[in-house]
Amino acid sequence: MIRGSLLGLVCLPLVFASVCWGFQFETGSRVVGQQGAGEYFVPPVRDASEPSLDSAYADGLAGPSQSYSKRPPVGMKVEWIADSETAMANANLNFSLPLLFIGTPPPIVKFGVDYTSLQTPESFGIPEDLFEYSVGIASFRKLNERWSVRSILGVGLATDNENRSSDSWRFRGGIFATYSWNDNVKWTFGGLAMGRQDLPVIPVIGAVWQPNPAVRVDLVYPQPRINRLLFDDGARQQWVYFGGGTSGSTWGYQQFEAIDDQLTYSDLRIVFGWESRPAGSSGMPFVRGKTTQFELGYVFSRQLEFEQDTRQEFLGDALMLSLSTKF
């Protein structure tokens, strides 16, 4: 647990420094990753259940005159989960690049590095340090006034840096169709390959309802969320949200006897969060400029699964704290 706490202490100042640096950029500038072509990111491949699946709902595609920043958008996130006996700390760094000469909007390539520190009883026999190195590509196409399609494909090496066998390679992907019922309701249908041993593929289905610019209800499995605008000072908006979902990942690792194995962590969670974003976005998932999120959560149904001996270790309910920024 001490090691996980130290990781948090090291990473949090890094994130806060990035947040402060991001505020120096004009919120109205058109940079990749803002609303337009650059918003259609590949999901974070540490946990494919966490992607902003509602990015497929966003309108306003970039036209031929759309300008792009030469600086690739950067995302950072730190997360800490702890109960009375175990702790898990995670840090993620990623950046995205548009393939500017392939279509409008162009596909987006995303690169990521992820570090997870596990503090568990020694009897579990698992490593403390786990890593994932990932790359993926996402594309978005608007078929007509009502229908659009988003596709994603990614691969990652999730390992303790000892096991580099096929156990460590994670393949993820998905395709989602979005139907604009009217100006306030958008439906999504599709499927997502999770890259997890326990949950390889899930359906993605639901709707986003935005009755007014201050309220957005994302009723999309597997990550529903209710969003409420607190205030808008003309430059930035402050939102709060309440939601839930599932999280987890699978890594290849090597047992103490030098035997290759797979480890899968999974949980369910309820979260309450705050998000700061540039004004004028009407609550849509991706916006121009820098965004910052802070989350508190209750995490339950936590477990570790092992492939070789089909063993399961059940973990206690825990509290979760996370901070992320994108600029």
What is the pLDDT, as a whole number, of residue 72?
66
Other CB atoms within 10 Å distance of the CB of residue 203: 11
Return d(Cα 34, Cα 290) in angstroms, integer. Answer: 8
Q: Quick check: bond before 44 cis, omega within 30?
A: no
For the chain, 327 residues long, give each residue's pLDDT as a single digit of tens. 434 444 444 444 343 333 333 332 222 222 222 222 223 222 322 232 233 333 322 322 222 223 344 456 899 999 999 998 999 999 999 998 888 777 778 899 999 999 999 999 988 888 999 999 999 999 999 999 999 999 999 999 999 999 989 989 999 999 999 999 998 999 999 999 989 988 899 999 999 999 999 999 999 988 899 999 999 988 899 999 999 999 999 999 998 777 899 999 999 999 999 999 888 654 444 445 689 999 999 999 999 999 887 789 999 999 999 999 988
Return d(Cα 221, Cα 210) in angstroms, integer. Answer: 17
Half-sphere exposure of 181 (CA within 13 A, CB side): 11
Relative to beta strand 147-159, strand 169-180 is antiparallel
Residue-wise pLDDT for 142-174, tens only, equals 999 999 999 999 999 999 999 989 989 999 999
User: Are 260 and 252 in contact, with CB atoms under 8 Å apart?
Assistant: yes
Rounded to two decimals, what is the model's pTM? 0.76
Return d(Cα 19, Cα 284) in angstroms, integer. Answer: 21
What is the pLDDT, as a whole number, of residue 265?
96
Place of tokens 């490593």: 127
Place of tokens 């997502």: 192
φ, ψ of residue 140 to 5 degrees: the values are: -135, 135
3-class state of residue 37 by DSSP: helix
3-class state of residue 98 by DSSP: strand
User: Are 261 and 9 in contact, with CB atoms under 8 Å apart?
Assistant: no
Residue-wise pLDDT for 217-229, tens only, equals 999 988 899 999 9
Question: Longest C-alpha distance within the chain, in Å?
Answer: 60
